[in-house]
């Protein structure tokens, strides 16, 4: 084997805008999905040492193969309290601010930029607002029909209000329109003014990351952001770099992975100047390797895009882009069941695989091959792990032997 396998890894994971992620559910989901990882790669894994603070959930993962053992200090950054606070706002506030948000993204030309970059993502943006508009139109139609039948304005008004109440009691919840409205409301707030609760939390975590990079006996530090969490991960790394400009320049490798990313959701808004400056600083830090994983069928990410180029920033130190097929990660029956459940497909980026493929969340976060090596290899860890879970002698390269400059890759 060329190079040294990872024996200890520190992982900071920032999830997307997920209003259902409680501490108990997050741990159960992790344990359930890592069980699939064990079956797929013929390895063993044990999860213990669960610890929860206001800023993060933390547990230890020990994964083993015939000739390797990895200890992972896994830290899931918490921000469900911020998400829940948005959900507790009155229905009238969420609707009115949601409409304002829709107009903001349209009038600033951001929707047009989505269309030019990835029309599927533009559809994802439009979905909750168009669907809500159709439901309101249906409620109005009920009032019109009531007026035509009775000729009474009070009865027609009552019919329209009844239709509107039915929309809020049923489809508004069934279609998760409230959560989708909140997602875009939060994004607009983050772009224009930031979020003080998130910023304070990231500041504390950045200090923790810097200390860990200096003191922990780890082979790799991995910061991974899924969906909108990729935006917050960029913010976290930038704050860490401000505290320690030499972050990642010592023997401890720092890797940033954006998976199913919403970076362009924020970065394409003309008012996101602060964020574009932030991501440029992170990208220009050659001590941090950045890999960006994208998938065609996932409508909640920007498929086959080059984030830095799309934002009009320098591409000298752009992300290494890897395009993956979610269908190849799953058994055929499973894929058929979820192929039209777009949120579930989006979450495959952070779920266990049924098949060995170039992208595997748990191999990246808990496996013996560095995340950088897996990202740069055409087939990820597939050619590096034998059928019995052992390491194959000819792989992988050590970080010092891998190409230093990032670039787009298919």
327-349 pLDDT, tens digit per residue, is 999 999 999 999 888 888 999 99
Of 266, 221, 217, give the one whose Cα is nearest residue 240: 221
User: Is cis: bond before 115, omega within 30 of 0?
Assistant: no
What confidence tier does 23 reach under pLDDT thresholds 50, 70, 90? Answer: low
* Least reliable range by pLDDT among 44-58, 161-175, 181-195, 386-400: 386-400
Look at residue 351 in the predicted model and tell me its pLDDT.
94
Question: Which H or E run contains 8?
Answer: strand 8-14
Classify residue 212 as exposed, middle or buried by CB count within 10 Å of its CB (0-12, 13-18, 19+): middle
Tokens of 176: 């998760």
Measured distance CA(98)–CA(181) in Å, rounded: 6
Report the DSSP beta bridge partners of residue 61. 47, 72
Measured distance CA(264)–CA(188) in Å, rounded: 13
pLDDT digits (tens, 9 = 90+) for 215-272: 778 889 999 999 999 999 999 999 999 998 888 676 577 899 999 999 999 999 999 9
How far apart, in Å, are the Cα atoms of 180 and each of 20, 104, 125, 155, 183?
13, 16, 9, 33, 5
pLDDT digits (tens, 9 = 90+) for 51-89: 888 899 999 999 999 999 999 999 999 998 899 999 899
Measured distance CA(9)–CA(189) in Å, rounded: 34
Of 38, 37, 36, 58, give the one whose Cα is nearest residue 48: 58
Tokens of 246: 């030499």
What confidence tier does 405 reach under pLDDT thresholds 50, 70, 90? Answer: very low
What confidence tier does 155 reach under pLDDT thresholds 50, 70, 90? Answer: confident
Average pLDDT score over residue span 283-289 = 89
Tokens of 104: 């903001």
pLDDT digits (tens, 9 = 90+) for 348-378: 999 999 999 999 999 999 999 999 999 999 9
Higher-pLDDT residue of 239, 154: 239
> C-alpha 384: how far from its chain's center?
26
Of 268, 260, 228, 269, give the one whose Cα is nearest residue 342: 260
């Amino acid at each position: 084997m060329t190079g040294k396998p990872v024996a200890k890894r520190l992982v900071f994971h920032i999830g997307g805008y997920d209003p259902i992620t409680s501490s108990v559910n997050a741990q159960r989901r992790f344990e359930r999905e890592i069980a699939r990882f064990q079956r797929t790669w013929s390895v063993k894994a044990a999860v213990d040492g669960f610890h929860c603070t206001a800023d993060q959930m933390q547990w230890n993962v020990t994964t083993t193969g015939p000739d390797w053992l990895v200890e992972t200090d896994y830290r899931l950054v918490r921000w469900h309290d911020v998400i829940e606070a948005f959900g507790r706002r009155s229905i009238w506030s969420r609707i009115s601010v949601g409409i304002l948000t829709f107009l903001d993204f349209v009038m600033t030309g951001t929707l047009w930029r989505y269309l030019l970059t990835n029309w599927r993502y533009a559809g994802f943006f439009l979905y909750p607002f168009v669907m809500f508009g159709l439901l309101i139109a249906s409620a109005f139609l009920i009032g019109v029909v009531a007026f035509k039948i009775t000729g009474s304005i009070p009865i027609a008004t009552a019919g329209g209000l009844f239709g509107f109440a039915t929309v809020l009691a049923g489809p508004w919840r069934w279609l998760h329109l409230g959560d989708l409205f909140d997602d875009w409301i939060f994004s607009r707030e983050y772009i224009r003014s930031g979020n003080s609760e998130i910023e304070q939390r990231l500041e504390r975590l950045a200090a923790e990351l810097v200390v860990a990079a200096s003191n922990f006996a780890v082979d790799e530090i991995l910061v991974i952001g899924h969906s909108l969490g990729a935006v917050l991960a960029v913010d976290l790394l930038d704050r860490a770099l401000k505290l320690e400009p030499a972050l990642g320049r010592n023997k401890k490798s720092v890797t940033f992975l954006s998976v199913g990313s919403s970076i362009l959701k924020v970065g394409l808004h003309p008012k996101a100047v602060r964020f574009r400056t932030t991501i440029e600083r992170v990208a220009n830090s050659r001590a941090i390797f950045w890999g960006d994983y994208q998938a065609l069928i996932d409508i909640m990410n920007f498929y086959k895009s080059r984030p830095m180029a799309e934002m009009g920033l320098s591409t000298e130190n752009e992300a290494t882009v890897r395009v993956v097929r979610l269908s190849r990660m799953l058994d055929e029956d499973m894929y058929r069941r979820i192929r039209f459940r777009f949120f579930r497909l989006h979450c495959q980026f952070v779920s266990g695989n049924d098949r060995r493929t170039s992208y595997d969340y748990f191999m990246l976060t808990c496996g013996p091959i560095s995340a950088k090596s897996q990202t740069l290899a055409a087939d990820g860890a597939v050619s590096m792990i034998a059928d019995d879970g052992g390491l194959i002698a000819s792989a992988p390269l050590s970080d010092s032997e891998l190409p230093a400059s990032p670039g787009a890759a298919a």
